[in-house]
Amino acid sequence: MNDLMYNNISEIENLFSNKKVAIFDLDGTIADTESLHWEAYNELLEPYGVTLQKEHIQKYIGHSEVQIYKMIHEDFNMHFDEEKFFKDRINKFLKLVQKKNLKPFPFIIEFLKKYKDSCSFMIVTSQIPTVVNNLLSFWNFDEYFSVQNRFFCHDGVYKKSEIYRNVAKYIGIESITPDEVILFEDSPHYIQEAKKVGISVVGIEHRYNASTLTSCDAILTSEFQNKKIDMNIMYRRIKQEDKEQINDLYMKLLNNHGSNVGMGYRISRLGL
């Protein structure tokens, strides 16, 4: 099995050649919002003596705010005023976004610019409208994602799997078939749901879902902060090795260096 590494979207144009619709998850997919979300969670949970570790975060990713609260209550046998916690957490998160000037991943910007005239873009996310709309405005992304093409799955009104099965209905374009749709997503569960109906998937790998993405047509790896090791070079050195060896080395580097591992961008073409 070969692992093919690329630096940008343009080097996998064949994957997008016939696509008419591109669906984007938000958190952890368009930008490294996950880190700031969990930072906000942990700041607010500190008075309760609770700190969410990586194993908790990995379990919570992809769930709505309400679902995460329920999981926290069950995991730590504790309770808090959910309405107040919700307001405080969202405010803290949005302040962190501005304070740290959070930017979208470069490969996402590249894709949006390159395909804005040939693809219709959708946001399909478990995140709430306030956060999504604030982020898209902060990034000047309103031109890419019209209000009618933003679907919020946090309260059960929309379901991601239902949208994947009926893209033409939700996007308002007749005769769209699954092979004309591409999804950018970081949740293994929703990646599998999209693949079930024949949608091409680009998985977005980051520190919280490393080595958990399967069934993707390609994987884009987000760039970890504070680069110390050029992972592109490391992958090229072992690109003839099998997937398991690559992932083993990757996890050892993460365990030894944490956020000091600089990922660059990686695309793994799986099943080759």
Single pTM value for the model:
0.77
The set of long-range contacts for 154-161, using a CB threshold of 8 Å and a minimum separation of 24, is: 154/64, 154/65, 154/66, 154/125, 154/126, 154/127, 154/128, 155/64, 155/66, 158/124, 160/124, 160/126, 160/190, 160/193, 161/190, 161/193
Q: What is the mean pLDDT of the segment spanning 27-55? A: 94
Q: What is the mean pLDDT of the segment spanning 176-205? A: 94
For residue 232, pLDDT beyond 70: no
For residue 28, pLDDT beyond 60: yes
Tallying the residues shown for the chain, one arrives at 272
Average pLDDT, the chain: 82
For residue 228, pLDDT beyond 50: no
Q: What is the mean pLDDT of the segment spanning 125-143? A: 95
pLDDT at 225 (0 to 100)? 35
Q: What is the mean pLDDT of the segment spanning 178-197? A: 95
Point out the least confidently predicted range of 65-79, 157-171, 175-189, 206-220. 206-220
pLDDT at 154 (0 to 100)? 81
Residue 1 binned pLDDT confidence (cut-offs 50, 70, 90): very low
For residue 78, pLDDT beyond 60: yes
Give Rg (Cα) of the chain: 18
Q: What is the mean pLDDT of the segment spanning 56-80? A: 91
- pLDDT digit string (tens) for 240-255? 444 455 556 556 655 6
Q: What is the mean pLDDT of the segment spanning 116-129? A: 94
pLDDT at 224 (0 to 100)? 46
pLDDT at 180 (0 to 100)? 96
For residue 238, pLDDT beyond 50: no
pLDDT at 272 (0 to 100)? 37
Residue 271 binned pLDDT confidence (cut-offs 50, 70, 90): very low
